[in-house]
Amino acid sequence: MAHDTKIWRCGKYELKFDRPRIMGVLNVTPDSFSDGGEHLDTDAAIAHGIAMLDAGADIIDVGGESTRPGFTPVSPDEEARRVLPVIRALAQRGAIVSVDTRHVEVAKAAVRVGASIVNDVTGFTDPKMVEFVTSSTCGVVVMHAGEVSEPIARTHKAVQLDTSAAAFVAEKARAAAAAAAAPSNGKKSRAKSGVGSVTRLAGGLVQPQLPFGDAAEAKEDEGREEAEAPTAETPAAAPEVAEAPDAAEQVDRLAAVMARSARREEAYVGTSQLRRFTLPDSAPIMRRVMGFLSDQARALVHAGVARERICIDPGAGFGKTANEDIIIQRETAKMASLGYPLLCAVSRKRFVGAVSGVTVAADRDAATYGVCLAAIQAGANVVRVHDVAGFAQFLNGYWAVARPHPRRAFVALGSNLGHRLDNIRAAKDLIAEIPLTCVSNCSRIYESEPAYEEHQEPFANAVVEVRSELAPIILLDELLKIEDKLGRDRTAAAKANGPRTLDCDLLWMEGEVHGGEKLVLPHPKIGERDFVLVPLEDLMHDPARFFRYEGVDVKEPEERVGHVVRELGVL
């Protein structure tokens, strides 16, 4: 049911999850961990984005700053220079585009040129980013990035600490008296630092060590806290509001987190301490990840961002070890239960290499499919991958068997060469033979004036309503095969919009929005074609109103092209 009921509103688009959605990764960077430099050139990046759309991607996630372990921060100006031309070009082709950025300046510019989603790896901890998305209608992705992810500033009760010299001396005297009165048995105190240890803070409070990071880092943090603890000579200040870090500090903190992740991965030395279990306890890890995601999502809602615009991402590989990433992936169902669309962004990550034994990142696609499949079964709604063509093939095969779900679609048929009516009737019969597809209804056949190219014979037109379990790209491929079988001329000599034995256009498919060169859904020219809208009146009440609701600009009858002139018969 999680797949069927969640929706994600992203600007003018609305994504439904009757099937998992594919987000293609487009890194316009010289140093990304698996494809750095491949698409740094703007034209190459645009071509790759279109290729991913035509292979089955629902969303293209464009990023101009690598956040791999050990990355070098990029200025907002440089990041914008890399991504904005690519985002603009893909959006103009009807694509749903996501901008992968943590800089509010880049996010604003990207949305202006057509991006529909802001994917913030720091989880909207920057109040300026929150302010921007509140004033926008774009979709948002809240990601947890290890130690860099801290909740939006909240108001805390002020605590006044007594730091006078007299109080300090009195406290020392009480502690000494208590130690003298306690029985001594030679055993070491359990308050020593170690696994499951606590850090003692001013005023006697204790704070458990957080689950992320290795023991050496925990020891460094403990020493730093002790060095910075307030004393009689250095009075402590108790701020009422925890101020959010500025943009420069966020950059440094994220870079530091990912640098530590790189060191842990490349120079890990196992401890001699015995462990009873293969993985650490999941509860503290999931409390931190899910707590952050739910807190940030709730804070965005309180700021004015509609709940339907929010997607969450646990941030695989960001400030986490392989063990922690595996635990988080195993708890996908719990994260999905928060009620927000859930993004699985594990493609080619280090932990995928750890469990598969594949060292080269670009060779981890098959292992990525396996991790993504487990996430989908547990409730993930969007899967972010580098190899869109391979994963789309994998997902289409799995989904056709695992989740039968026929969906309504409309196909327009047209012919003005040869026996026009026979061509259209033959096309209807061939559509009924497409696997996992049936013809459920047909319009009458109409004659219409030529559109776009006037000096040719009138067309015969009809629309058929189908039910299909195929992905839209696959259904389109089958329709193109029918055109070829009935003699469609695709040579260079054939005129666009010129005479043809058969034209099969996929007009609309239930729950589908798509962009690219190969297929755009809904069909961008439905609203201006009289030879499509008139046959549709045989199949639905008020098609103009229906498609306006779907976001199509439907023109008035006198402004349309290819006007219907008469009825030719039944289909």
326's enclosing H/E stretch is helix 322-330
Of 61, 100, 365, 503, which is the active-site residue? 503
Phi-psi domain of 180 (left: phi exceeds 0; alpha: psi -120 through 50; beta: other): alpha
Q: Which of 264, 425, 500, 560 is catalytic?
A: 500
Give, to the nearest 10 degrees, the angle between helix 322-330 and helix 282-303. Answer: 70
Q: Tell me whether residue 408 is one of the annotated catalytic residues.
A: no
* Residue in this structure with the two tokens 């402004």, named with its chain if needed: 559
Residues with Cβ < 8 Å from 482, sequence gap 6 or more?
427, 430, 431, 502, 504
**Short-list 174, 243, 166, 159, CA closest to 205:** 159
Amino acid letter for position 232:
A
Look up 467 and say whether it is catalytic: no
Q: Record the tokens describing residue 509, joined without a space.
A: 């498919």
**b/e per residue 491-526 (b: at least 16 CB within 10 A):** eeeeeeeebbbbbbbbbbbebbbbbbebbbbbbebb
Residues 6+ apart with CB under 8 A from 194: none
488 is catalytic: yes
Report the alpha-carbon distance of residue 504 to residue 501 in Å, rounded: 10
Measure CA 236 to chain center: 43
CA distances from 78 to 29, 98, 116, 133, 135 (A): 10, 18, 21, 22, 25
Outline where 182-209 has alpha helix (H): none
Residue with tokens 């696997």: 435
Active-site option among 288, 488, 529, 560: 488
What residues have CB less than 8 Å from 542, skipping those under 6 apart? none
Which amino acid, 378? A
Whether the CB-CB separation of 84 and 99 falls below 8 Å is answered with no
Residue given tokens 């030719």 in the structure block: 568
Catalytic residue from among 295, 477, 505, 538? 505
Q: Are 281 and 130 in contact (CB under 8 A)?
A: no
505 in catalytic set: yes
Q: Are strands 21-27 and 13-16 parallel, antiparallel or unpaired?
A: unpaired
Measure CA 194 to chain center.
38
Stretch (H or E) spanning 255: helix 247-266
**Strand 503-509 to 343-344 pairing:** unpaired
**H helices present in 121-209, as ranges:** 127-134, 165-181
What does the angle CA 385 – CA 386 – CA 388 come to, to the nearest 5 degrees?
A: 75
> Cα 287 vs. chain centroid, distance in angstroms?
23
Sign of CA dihedral 30, 32, 34, 38: negative
| Tokens 């709604």, located at residue | 381
> What does the alpha-carbon distance between residue 107 and residue 99 come to, in Å, rounded to a whole number?
7
State residue 508 phi and psi, 5-degree precision. Answer: -160, 145
Structure-token pair, residue 16: 């439904």
- Catalytically active residues are 488, 500, 503, 505
